[in-house]
A and B are shown apart, each in its own frame.
Chain A
Amino acid sequence: MGSRSELLYFAWLNTKVRVGALILALFVILAIVGPLFARHDPNAYVGPPAHPPSSEYWLGTTTFGQDVYSQFVHGLRATFIVGLLGGGIGTLLGVCIGLLAGYRGGMVDEILNMFTNIVLILPTLAVLIIIAAYLTVRGILVESLFIGCTAWPWAARAIRAQTFSLRAREFVDLARMSGRSSWKIMFYEIAPNMLSYLFMTFILQFGGAVLIAATLDFIGLGPTQGISLGLMMNNAVLWAALPLGMWWWLIPPGAAITAIVGALYVMNVGLDEVFNPKLREL
């Protein structure tokens, strides 16, 4: 317990972690609390069309008179759901496949590694486009599921390499001699020893899922119901926000994504410094 609070202490000392976490917390709060203050349904046609920000419509309205603020905060929620779920699934798959390949080695490793390499080369977005296009009803959950299922390869590769180096350690040999099952060794002996690494993998998977979801939504293959930040940008482009100069519709969704993903990256770099004392700047 002592070493854990020490890690937290060092993590908080690191400026990068602090800045990243603060920005992230700001958006999480906005995503949770923001919709409570939204006076209109995100997709309802409520106001005058193409109205700039005012006291009634905080971020203005779309070409159809939808409330941009309401869309924005609801879209933020969708973004965090996709990040958590998609990033979570991607990390989980990467951990399972990487651990299995790294611990078992031999034939299992050969086959899993080949599979990993194949999925790694396939451009994720192209696969997602094909899948999404044939789905008649698309929700955020299904989108996250497919994103997670295509995002795992690099995580699996990195975790496989880590497992390789851990598997030859004495404590793993000891566990094996004491007769623990392979699954128990993988998840109770090896995985906890790279917990910090797994956490950083999750952060990067989170950011990746947010970006790829935004791109997919921007193409017009996002959720068929509801709203997301990518969908807002898609609508803004399709309905001439650019030539009409409706910056209040164009700028906020992308700015939020940039801030969230950027905060995650910066936090990741900071955590790297915390977990690898060699890089620590004090």
Chain B
Amino acid sequence: MIWYLGRKLFIYLLTFFFAVTIDWLIPRLMPGNPVDIMVSRMALRADAAEVVRSYYIQAFQLDLPLWRQYLNFWIALLRGDLGVSIWLFPQPVISVIARAVPYDLLLLLPAILLSWVLGNQVGAMAARVRWLDNTVLPLAYILTATPYMWLALLLAWSLGQVAGLFPISGAYSYNIRPHLSWVFIRDLLWHWTLPFLSLFLVMFGGWAIGMRNMIIYELEADYSRYLSALGAPQRLIRRYAFRNAVLPQITGLALQLGAIVAGAVATEIAFAYPGTGYLILQAVLNQDYFLLQGCFLFIITGVLAANLIIDIVYILVDPRTRLGMVGE
């Protein structure tokens, strides 16, 4: 078990190292000098351009030898220094991201957990109820093929714009300051509903399909046939099938994290929901490269942490990993 977790941890550390190197390398690898490109795109007056230019040269440390630039990049990173945002000058990138994190968690955690749990339940039911299989499954295929942002736009247009039930942008009304009160919490939840729903629905489709197929596969397995030959009640067999089918779904959750992140980014942009995805849009619109690179590192760190948590859950759920019977 220690060995299993250690190996995973090693891969994650290596991935983090790789990601930070990409983050450092890409601005330097691209054709032309990144500073010239950025300054020319900003369309500033000549004197202002010179100030911005000297700031960037210093920030990128382009006057130092390469190995020194790389080392300094790591040192700054470990100190939590991700540079200064251009969009919200002069706030440091790290505090801009820190403000967005609660909204990301508020949106993603319930959407991921609820869609996973409900998707598995409904998928398992669809595997044994014919009418459910014929109604839920086609719907699940449509949902899982839907681009996140389109479902978001569709919900915003139908439930928000036409029906007028929910607000279509922001995390809370403009006339309310964030504070701890029922009025604010209700407003927050009211704004949260549509982004949550669009994330939830797309993910739900994928989990339901996966679980339905896994259950059918498990019910065909030898142990299920043996149990039913022994005359075990169907409920018992299905419980065993469910327990076995859940394991690949946990692994699937880890594999899906990248797609989920992409979905969250798109959804937050569609609803102007002030999480990291919205920051990325603003960073792109405002040529705020430090903010963009900060968001990149934040997403990588988040995904790696989530992977680690899923690994630990897997160890808790699957006794074979504890006994060292599974290599990978």
Asked if A266 is at the interface (CB within 8 A of a chain B CB), the reply is yes
Chain B residues lying within 8 Å of A218, measured Cβ to Cβ, are 147, 149, 266, 269-270
The B interface, classified by DSSP as helix, strand, loop or mixed, is: helix
A258 to B149, Cβ gap below 8 A?
no
Asked if B265 is at the interface (CB within 8 A of a chain A CB), the reply is yes
Selected contact of B270 from candidates A237, A253, A264, A266, CB within 8 Å: A237
Taking CB atoms and an 8 Å cut-off, the chain A residues in 189-244 that contact chain B are 207, 211-212, 214-215, 218-221, 233, 236-237, 242-243
Task: Give A contacts to B, CB under 8 Å.
Answer: 114, 117-118, 120-127, 129-131, 133-136, 154, 207, 211-212, 214-215, 218-221, 233, 236-237, 242-243, 245, 247, 250-251, 253-255, 257-258, 261-262, 264-266, 269
User: A123-B261, A220-B285, A254-B146 known; A136 and B266 CB under 8 Å?
Assistant: no
The A interface, classified by DSSP as helix, strand, loop or mixed, is: helix
Total count of chain B residues near the partner, CB < 8 A: 59
**7 closest Cβ pairs, A-B complex:** A254-B150, A262-B145, A125-B262, A123-B258, A261-B145, A134-B30, A126-B299
A245 to B23, CA, bound (A): 40
Taking CB atoms and an 8 Å cut-off, the chain B residues in 25-58 that contact chain A are 26-27, 30-32, 34, 37
Chain B residues lying within 8 Å of A127, measured Cβ to Cβ, are 22, 296
Chain B residues lying within 8 Å of A258, measured Cβ to Cβ, are 142, 145-147, 150
Chain B residues lying within 8 Å of A269, measured Cβ to Cβ, are 141
Instruction: Please give 12 more A-B residue pairs, beta carbons under 8 A apart, in addition to A126-B300, A258-B145.
Output: A122-B303, A126-B261, A127-B296, A133-B284, A133-B292, A215-B263, A215-B266, A236-B153, A254-B153, A254-B154, A255-B150, A262-B141
A159 to B64, CA, bound (A): 45
Chain B residues lying within 8 Å of A135, measured Cβ to Cβ, are 30
Taking CB atoms and an 8 Å cut-off, the chain B residues in 150-177 that contact chain A are 150-151, 153-154, 156-157, 160-162, 168
User: A123-B303, A254-B153 known; A243 and B141 CB under 8 Å?
Assistant: no
Selected contact of B147 from candidates A118, A126, A154, A211, CB within 8 Å: A211
Asked if B100 is at the interface (CB within 8 A of a chain A CB), the reply is no
> Least Cβ distance of B237 to chain A in Å?
20
A215 to B153, Cβ gap below 8 A?
no
Chain B residues lying within 8 Å of A255, measured Cβ to Cβ, are 150
Q: Which residue of A lies closest to B29 (CB)?
A: A134
Among B11-19, B75-83, B226-234, the stretch in contact with A: B11-19
> Least Cβ distance of B13 to chain A in Å?
10
Chain B residues lying within 8 Å of A257, measured Cβ to Cβ, are 147, 150
A120 to B147, CA, bound (A): 21
Chain A residues lying within 8 Å of B307, measured Cβ to Cβ, are 121
B269 to A219, Cβ gap below 8 A?
yes
Q: Which residue of B lies closest to A279 (CB)?
A: B216
Selected contact of B299 from candidates A123, A214, A237, A242, CB within 8 Å: A123
B292 to A130, Cβ gap below 8 A?
yes
Chain B residues lying within 8 Å of A254, measured Cβ to Cβ, are 146-147, 149-151, 153-154
> Least Cβ distance of A152 to chain B in Å?
13
Q: Which residue of B lies closest to A131 (CB)?
A: B26
